[in-house]
Structure 1
Amino acid sequence: MLVLALSLLFAQGGEKLMYPLTTQGFSEFLSQHEKTVAPLEREANLAWWEAATTGKEEAYAKQAELQTKLETVYTDPKAFAYLKELRAKGVVQDPKLSRQLEILYLKYLGRQLDPELLKQIIGKATAAEQKFATFRGKVNSQEVTDNQIEEVLRSSRNREERKAYWLASKQVGAALAPDVVALVKLRNQAAQKLGFRDFFALQLALNEQDEAWLFNLFDELDRLTAEAFRQLKARIDQVQGQRLGVQPEELMPWDYTDRFFQEAPNLSDLDLDAPLKDKDLVALVASFYQGIGLDPQPILARSDLFERPGKNPHAFCTDIDRQGDVRVLANVKPNQYWLDTMLHELAHGVYSYYVDRSLPYFLRADAHIFVTEGVAMLFGRLAQNARFYLAMGLIGEDQLPAFEKAMTDKLRAQALIFSRWCQVMLRFEKSLYQNPDQDLDALWWSLVERYQGLKRPAEAPKGAWASKIHIVSAPVYYHNYCLGDLYASQLHAAIVRELYPGADPANVVYVANPKVGEFFKKRVFGPGASLPWPKFVEFSTGSPLSPQVFAQQFVGQQATAAKPAK
């Protein structure tokens, strides 16, 4: 048994620790712990990959079993007691060892649970993920894929068709909502046993994020973007109303260009997908990364990139073993959405691949989840930059003015729209975990109306909120995408300042500049998780995390009270 194996690190009865409360003792603990968890992590990650790429029942069962075994390692109370006491005494002074101590302490803290409760949580989450991955909404009794839904919402001028496909996208939420509420209650039960208010508070603590700081930052971002978003939304409503033949005040959620109004519509008459038709997006994105000195081929060789039945319909990147086995799952189509997605996911990939492998095992990871999201978002923004298209040979000089105007508008709209969508997700999840028995549909639509300006349709099915997979598979995570956007703006400003002095940041697209890759290897990827995230942000960008640079870039004003990182 894994728990027994780890418990043998301690004397019988736990009266005397076999590892002394010294730096050397902790080093020995680390060595044994790595031998235990590294092979298990690899097996669990491979099982997850098989489940996501095949959708097979037995693959999901195997993944749940292995994940439970891995998580159970961290439930050992004796190992946790050792780490807790070592941390309290402050005897580990070496920076890398101290950082590993903090990482492992938090990992153990979040799993000091009854193994049976942990098994229930993992089992219910895995079952929900499987249902989500294999569920297909129906239109006129015919199953439709996510790509079909996205295409209709992006391009159809038939409002009845749009409505039917939008409603189909919410059917999975109606099917999953009771299971998600049950999962939320189990997660809360686990968090409260650890002394936390609820699972939301626990997750923030485990991710080294102060709740008051986080909501102050989001409140400040709300103030900075509210008026700019209001004006943008009025323009979007005018354009969409004209396209669909209705007055702006008659628009409903299915009249926007994605399922959650988290993506920016194309407000011009240009077909922004046209330059990508019949293009090999995988080869295109690979050549870009190759040109900046970040070779993606080892990642692509192991990846699964195209749509097929039973496969997870979304996109993600996963690091299998912290030794270079990094993979991307995608469902690529030749359009702007998938150009953005492939730039994004391969950014995650090169981050994991280029972390300094001489670092200790537990530091071979990103500095923080929002940091890797920020890097991915930074590269994803290139899909909305006409100068990137020009540099990659997708458009000609004569097309640049028109595409530049359309794409600049769309990128700004994307930043503002997504920041408002993140407000919904953060505040919904906090309230969801505070009271899962409340009317969650009313909560969801009140936030959607407040921050996104969308009306609740009478036809909205119950459980529409549960159609967002992150609530199941990445709980209390979504706000990190927004923090990532803020970090992306700061990081781009630092790159321009150091590698392109005097250049207009909007025109810098990195193409064929290997110095960009060197910057990322040295300042972003290389350090891995060796620094606490506030120090890392200052190391890589030169300033603490705040909304200021993001506001300058997309709103045109400075934050009036940027908050210090915590």
Structure 2
Amino acid sequence: MLLDDYRREAEEFVSALDLDYYLQGSGQKDDLDVEAIYDRHAGLFTRAAVEELRADGHPELALFAAEGLVGQETKAEAAELARLEATLEVEDMPFRQAAVAQANATDPARRAELEAARLEVAGRELDPLLVTMLERSHAVAKELGWESLRALVEDLGRIDLGRLNQQTEQFLASTDPRDAAPRVEAELGIRWEDARRSDLPAFFRAPSLDSMFPGDKLLDAYENTRTALGLSAPGVRLDAEDRPKKSPRAFCSPVHVPDEVYLVIPRLGGREDYEALMHEAGHAEHFAHANRELPFEDRYLGDNSVTEGYAFLLQHLVRDAGWLRARLGIEDAAAVEEHARAERILFLRRYSAKLGYELELHGPNPDLTAMPALYAERLSAASGLPWPEGSWISDVDPFFYAARYLRAWALEELVRAELVRRFGPEWWGSAEAGVVLSELWSEGQGRDADELLTGLTGEELDFTKMI
């Protein structure tokens, strides 16, 4: 295998796939061309490629090849899944819009109805495809020589999932979801004891804070922050247009790093729009500042805890009283800060529980029939709310991405503390801080989160520091 040729074709594949996902996810077309894209680049994803890249000391490329092999063997299901998500309906509304309607519903009973209807459609139409994809990913891991998908990810992804799980279990034992109760009750007007999982989208939506987050200042808040930090990477392309079939989930699509990076956000309204924009802006700025001379794997692959950490860093600005005052004229941000604290505990506990669940799901011989009940049990305990079994598989991101989020939260908190130490609490208005970030971003993902943090602060990445 010629390494340069492999890298070149791998970049062509990723660029084509990301462009396809951008166009479909942004609501500009219904169907994905996943099958055709995989067929054009089938030579990238073979057992021989995985073994050779691993033996030659290129674990990032070997993981890419292994993930691609799973993608190659589930391409038909992935294409059908995307088509269905774009065309299915829930109560005469597009499937994707049902989640938006649920977040905006003011009646708890209506929120529960919408969630139940959405889960019923997903369980009937989408979950069988997801189960097929899950089973095939487990089979491929074993065919490649690992005892489980977990073992494959730990080896090629260079991540100690067991150690991280010990830390998150300690976090779960040391925190209480009821700390969020006062804010949940104030926002939703219901007792904590009566709240359900279906109420959480409305809580995260936080309509009581809408007046503080006007839609006409959304893009200016981002652009002014960019200007203050001295950021000017031209590759960021913002897509904030409303389209009926646009995904309700904001995303960043790095089609050509660093020159063509799409930042896509839906308009749900209020604070959530700001958080979504700034989170995805963190990804976009990271990719758009990457040194174009870096090898493919350092621009596109690597430890995604790093890019998620930068995403959380900019997202956190929407919870920063100084930034809110400077960008939106909010003089009293107490309610925003209280909401952010409640949201934080719910998110961190949810993802901590997800990791433990996914370690069971992706273990050597999982009993899939037992997984819905295990999922509901773990998530109910973590959230303090009744959690339905229905999202036992749709709530699972591929290849332990939940672990990347958990590491990213810990990374962000420590990187932010370092920026505050160097440049003060209003680091987000410092061009010098922008220089530091630009230099970090220029590395792409050449270093993992542990290496990045050690180099920046000398500290060890440890999730228990979130307690």
Structure 1 length-normalised TM: 0.74
Alpha-carbon distance, 1:216 to partner: 1.7
Structure 2 vs 1, CA of residues 130 and 205 (structure 1 numbering), >3 Å: closer, same or farther?
A: farther
Which residue type is aligned with residue 181 of structure 1?
Answer: V
Structure 2 vs 1, CA of residues 532 and 71 (structure 1 numbering), >3 Å: closer, same or farther?
A: farther
Q: 1:451 corresponds to which residue?
A: 382
Structure whose CA Rg is larger: 1
Which residue type is aligned with residue 363 of structure 1?
Answer: D
SS at match of 1:381: helix
1:263-289 CA distances to partner (integer Å, 9 max, x unpaired)? 6586xxx93210223424123212212
Structure 2 vs 1, CA of residues 427 and 132 (structure 1 numbering), >3 Å: closer, same or farther?
A: farther
1:495-533 CA distances to partner (integer Å, 9 max, x unpaired)? 111222xxxxxxx243431112111112x2122233344
| Structure that is richer in helix per residue | 2
Which of residues 75, 79, 82 is equivalent to 2:46? Answer: 75
Within a 5 Å distance, the mapping from 1:74-473 to structure 2 comes to 74-75=45-46, 77=48, 79-80=49-50, 82-87=52-57, 101-108=58-65, 119-138=72-91, 144-152=97-105, 156=106, 158-175=107-124, 176-224=126-174, 226-227=175-176, 229-230=177-178, 232-236=179-183, 239=186, 243-244=189-190, 248-254=192-198, 256-258=199-201, 271-295=208-232, 298-300=235-237, 303-365=238-300, 368-395=303-330, 400=331, 403-434=332-363, 435-456=366-387, 463-468=390-395, 471=396
Q: 1:43 corresponds to which residue?
A: 16
Retained in 2: the 8 A contact 1:351–1:372? yes
Q: 1:520 corresponds to which residue?
A: 437
Structure 2 vs 1, CA of residues 529 and 237 (structure 1 numbering), >3 Å: closer, same or farther?
A: closer
Structure 1 vs Structure 2: percent identity of aligned residues?
18
SS at match of 1:530: coil
CA distance, structure 1, for counterparts of residue 195 and residue 12 of structure 2? 53
Q: 2:410 corresponds to which residue?
A: 486
CA distance, structure 1, for counterparts of residue 251 and residue 15 of structure 2? 17
Structure 2 vs 1, CA of residues 50 and 329 (structure 1 numbering), >3 Å: closer, same or farther?
A: same
Retained in 2: the 8 A contact 1:366–1:525? no
Structure 2 vs 1, CA of residues 333 and 248 (structure 1 numbering), >3 Å: closer, same or farther?
A: closer
5+ residue gaps, structure 2: none
Alpha-carbon distance, 1:85 to partner: 4.5
Structure 2 vs 1, CA of residues 272 and 102 (structure 1 numbering), >3 Å: closer, same or farther?
A: same
Alpha-carbon distance, 1:431 to partner: 2.3
CA distance, structure 1, for counterparts of residue 353 and residue 121 of structure 2? 20
Retained in 2: the 8 A contact 1:487–1:545? yes
Which of residues 4, 19, 31 is equivalent to 2:4? Answer: 31
SS at match of 2:147: coil
Q: Does 1:474 align with 2:398?
A: yes
Retained in 1: the 8 A contact 2:348–2:406? yes
Which residue type is aligned with residue 138 of structure 2?
Answer: N
Alpha-carbon distance, 1:547 to partner: 2.7
Which of residues 436, 442, 445 is equivalent to 1:529? Answer: 445
Retained in 2: the 8 A contact 1:374–1:485? yes
Alpha-carbon distance, 1:445 to partner: 1.4
Retained in 1: the 8 A contact 2:103–2:111? no
Which residue type is aligned with residue 150 of structure 1?
Answer: A
Q: 1:90 corresponds to which residue?
A: none
CA RMSD of aligned residues (A): 3.0
CA distance, structure 1, for counterparts of residue 127 and residue 234 of structure 2? 40
CA distance, structure 1, for counterparts of residue 245 and residue 205 of structure 2? 29
Alpha-carbon distance, 1:390 to partner: 0.8
5+ residue gaps, structure 1: 1-8, 10-28, 88-100, 501-507, 552-566
SS at match of 2:23: helix
CA distance, structure 2, for counterparts of residue 366 and residue 34 of structure 1? 11
CA distance, structure 2, for counterparts of residue 390 and residue 141 of structure 1? 37
- How many residues of Structure 1 are paired with residues of Structure 2 in the alignment? 464
Structure 1 residue runs of 4 or more that deviate by more than 6 Å after TM superposition: 139-143
Q: Does 1:497 align with 2:424?
A: no
More off after superposition, 48-57 vs 138-147: 138-147
CA distance, structure 1, for counterparts of residue 230 and residue 94 of structure 2? 49
1:224-271 CA distances to partner (integer Å, 9 max, x unpaired)? 3x24x34x1443565468x23xx54333333x3317xxx6586xxx93
Structure 2 vs 1, CA of residues 422 and 449 (structure 1 numbering), >3 Å: closer, same or farther?
A: same
CA distance, structure 2, for counterparts of residue 292 and residue 372 of structure 1? 18
Alpha-carbon distance, 1:407 to partner: 2.0
